[in-house]
Structure 1
Amino acid sequence: MTEHAPQPCDLLIEAGWVVPVVPHGVILPDHAVAVSGSRIVAVLPRAQARARFAPAQTVARPQAALIPGLVNAHTHNPMTLLRGVADDLPLMTWLREHIWPVEGALVGPEFVADGVTLAIAEMLRGGTTCANENYFFPDVQAAVYSKHGFRARVGLPVIDFPTAWAASDDEYFARAIEVHDTWRDDPLVAMAFAPHAPYSVSDANFERVRMLADQLDLPVHLHTHETAQEIEDSLKQYGLRPLARLDRLGLVNDRLIAVHMTQLTDAEIRLCAERGVSVVHCPESNLKLASGFCPACALLKAGVNLAIGTDGCASNNDLDMFGETRTAALLGKAVAHDAAGFSAFEALHAATLGGARALGFEHLIGSIEPGKQADLVCVDLAPLETQPLHHIVSQLVYAAGRHQVSDVWIAGQPKLRQRELVDMDTEALLAKVGHWQARIAQVRAH
């Protein structure tokens, strides 16, 4: 009987626990994940992995949980540079009197590049490996995400007024198609249409979005049903609630990534379930702007795919998916008056595979399965804040903090190693951030 020679692989990650997300509710103690190139090739007990594989590198983390990279399903990452600029204000005052004037004065390619770079550094240190991006200059965003090997779905903006990105409706669409065509075959960066919101996009532009999204097979990433005021204004202007108007325009389908959704009737929840709409829950931004509460438990019970997003740093004020997921779970229970609702496993699913599904990336990421991309995160559970370890996923959702993320890989490439960012110059980045801090202060002083 001949012994099989060990199979070569690039990386073997040995963890105290692997939380694969699929199958649901499973925790695999003392397991390893083998990676070749950008892909996961096996998930198996550590002893078997050592016998079967001859890895080029082994990373042993016996006191860590290995989870899929977190998916931040709604971000405005260039706005990290506006963190803390105008806090404790209602949404429209915040936007019209503070955020839009600063953006009008400063937003351009350099602002976007530096803001996204800061966001990537923050997300990696917090275990986030994929973002669903929604801002101006998507060409610059895509280039920065690609440069740093970070996975993203970048929004192609559409809004009914001129900005630094585009001066007219036709220019928004022409530039969107140009950016899409440039990045259509990239392994890490993909596009979505990002019409801003029902109150800032006309029927005609929504119809163009729908037609192009169908032709190009792209998702539509949209703020909707964010506030009660939005519903009232839509009823006055169109005689319809925003979701009904979007449905009339053919947009309520499995391409729709509906963000916020704090104002929902039971019938609207059923419609989302029937049509395959994904809902992105951004609880901390909604709490901070007093926008309302997304009925997360009701959406889950109806079978709606639920994802989690931080929103932008100007309205949250961080990109902490551990904090956001905990808030989502706790708020979900309170809104539903159901302590058993939105369990730790459901919350982790929403932060990983739910986000991947919303972005159309579920075949690539969101769970630790052979064949998927090796977007992986080690969370150190040894600190006293997460001891004792009665239940690993409860500790991840209700007790762990982003500072416990030790290692991050995207497509098999190391991005964070023992809390240190790989291939990012943090001193140079902080110098650029300081420059923007001074410029923003100058604009606001005038």
Structure 2
Amino acid sequence: MIKTEALQVELIQVEQIIEARWVVPVDPKNSLYEFYAVVMNHQLIVDVLPTLQARMKYQANEVVVLDDHVLIPGLINAHTHAAMTVMRGIADDQPLMVWLNEHIWPAERAIVTERYVEDASLLACAEMLAGGTTCFNDMYFYPQATATAATKAGIRAHLGLTVLEFPTNYAVDADDYLLKGFEAHDSWRGNNLISSMLAPHAPYTISNQTFEKVLTYAEQLGLGIHTHLHETRDEISQSEVTYGVRPIQRLATLGMLGPGFVAAHGVHLLPHEIDMLAEYGSHIAHCPASNLKLGSGIAPIDALLKNHVNVCIGTDGAASNNRLDMFSEMRLAALLSKGVSEDASVLPAYDALKMATINAANAIGLDTKIGSIDIGKQADLVAVKLSDFSISPCYDPVSHLVYSCGREHVTHTWVAGALRYSNGTYANIEPVELKEIIQTWQPKLRQYKH
């Protein structure tokens, strides 16, 4: 009789394996994997493979088993103002310019300080992590304070170096805004969670001269540009009176459009302007809830997508939304596109998920790091439980994510491989601290409600 010895296979040691019922990698093939595992080591995704194969190939310090969950890339909020979260609800039911001129800007002049921004941003980070958002593209004053809050929370932040012409508590003129922005930008070099782009507020608050400076600095430093654009009809009319052209044409003439240009809103775009965005490879950050709540209108998303413009999704600030909830934004974006086009096949669920993940990563220049579940990318991941009776049964997990699930179904949020939120508990944030932030700032803001 011939004896044979069993082959001993040495397992590869890794830090963590997540075994999920479903994995949605967000790839060009619109893949959905069942009974799959994601293997993580040193902040990175090192493998994506069937669970049984993972058990035969790897040995992990920790294995997380999610039998009732779908694992997706971390959601990316492509346009927000995190520090406005404490202003949630102070001036509801007002059109944009009334909302800004009579409520928001006076409130900001009265209370916005570096301490305020850090506190309010931490509250926003907590809300976003609990809702599966792992990265946000921000535009606000004191970006260093937002960076401090984001780093504490463990969330990824792409921070705008905000530029305005008029004085605020933060800076006195455009040059001062730029100087302070660059100082902040230099301070977080080496921080894996923080990146940035230049953020001139909007064509109606920025001069041609300042736009030209912004463009020069963007080219020299390799930074993108993030601004509000064509949010309201009044903005466009004002530009036609002042400059003789619509805002997008003005920016195109100045050389601002390009693959590093992210335009928030893009509600009122003519067909040739959509062609222009496509030609320059620029991006639209679609904010459906904010646009509806401020009465700004509905962006032509179907036309943008048909013309191959990269569209991502943002919440805008909680003061105009009033939630930092990417699940509700995905659902609303899909439903609005179907309703406006009168075509139920427009913006299917997988495409809506792409807008909230890889499309946003592409817009902010982080698509090689985040936005999909790919080997070599940062392990920014979110687990969503699909077995709750209120959303059962489930036939298509991707469709379920967009049309049935809410942020309350998020159970785990990982950023760069670290678990930052799990079943109501934060890794680095104490609920009592959030309560103190609200109690500190709400009384100071109450007077600006009316």
Q: Above 0.5 in TM-score?
A: yes
Could you say which TM-score interval applies, normalised by the shorter chain?
Answer: over 0.9
Report whether the alignment pairs 1:325 with 2:333. no
Match of 1:195 in 2: 200
Aligned residue for 2:319, secondary structure, equals: coil
Picking from 106, 109, 119, the partner of 2:124 is 119
Within 5 A, what are the aligned runs for 1:308-347? 308-347=313-352
* Counterpart residue identity of residue 223, structure 1: H
Q: Which amino acid aligns with 1:349?
A: K
Deviations 1:232-282 (A, max 9, x none): 111111111101000011101011001100011111111111111011000
Q: 1:256 aligns with which of 253, 257, 261?
A: 261
Aligned residue for 1:436, secondary structure, equals helix
**Structure 2 residue corresponding to 1:140, chosen from 145, 156, 174:** 145
User: Cα–Cα, structure 1 residues 23 and 51, in superposed 2: closer, same or farther, change >3 Å?
Assistant: farther
Q: Equivalent residue for 2:112?
A: 107
Q: Among residues 198, 213, 216, which one is paired with 1:211 in the alignment? A: 216
**Deviation larger for 19-28 or 201-210:** 19-28
4+ residue stretches of structure 1 with deviation over 3 A? 442-445
Corresponding residue of 1:284: 289
Q: 1:329 to 1:443 in 2, by over 3 A?
A: closer
Matches within 5 A, 1:67-78: 67-78=72-83
Counting only pairs closer than 5 Å after superposition, residues 138-287 of structure 1 correspond to structure 2 as 138-287=143-292
State the AA in 2 paired with 1:247. Answer: A
Which residue of 1 is the match for residue 3 of structure 2?
none
1:134 alignment partner, SS class: strand
Q: In structure 2, what is the Cα distance between the partners aligned to 1:24 and 1:105?
A: 51
Q: Does the aligned pair in 1 maintain the 2:161–2:181 contact within 8 Å?
A: yes
Kept after mapping to 1: 8 A contact 2:74/2:380: yes
Question: Equivalents in 2 of 1:381, 1:20: separation in Å?
Answer: 17
Deviation at 1:134, TM superposition (A): 0.4
Is contact 1:405-1:419 (8 Å) kept?
no
Q: Measure how far apart 1:230 and its partner are.
A: 0.9
Q: CA offsets, 1:103-154, max 9 Å, x none? A: 1000001110111100011001100000000000011111221222210110
Instruction: Name the amino acid aligned to 1:246.
Output: L
Q: Give the match for residue 17 of structure 1.
A: 22
Aligned residue for 2:320, secondary structure, equals: coil
Structure 2 spans left out of the alignment, 5+ residues? 1-5
* Structure 1 residue 372 corresponds to structure 2 residue 381: no
Contact 2:225 2:261 in 1 (8 A): yes
Given the two structures, how large is their TM-score scaled by the length of structure 1? Answer: 0.98
Contact kept? 2:126, 2:153, Cα under 8 Å: no
Query: 3-state SS of the aligned residue for 1:9?
Result: strand
Tell me if the contact between 2:378 and 2:416 (Cα under 8 Å) persists in the aligned partners: yes
State the shift of 1:384 in Å: 1.5
Equivalent residue of 2:419, what SS? strand
Contact 1:298 1:336 in 2 (8 A): no
Among 30, 34, 41, the alignment partner of 2:46 is 41
1 CA distance for matches of 2:278 and 2:191? 31
- Would you say how many aligned residue pairs link Structure 1 and Structure 2? 445
Gaps of 5+ in 1: none
The aligned amino acid for 1:215 is: Q
Contact 1:295/1:336 (8 A) holds in 2: no
Match of 1:31 in 2: 36
TM-score (norm 2): 0.97
Select between 183-192 and 293-302 the one with higher mean Cα deviation: 183-192
Q: Would the aligned equivalents of 1:13 and 1:34 in 2 still touch at CA under 8 Å? A: yes
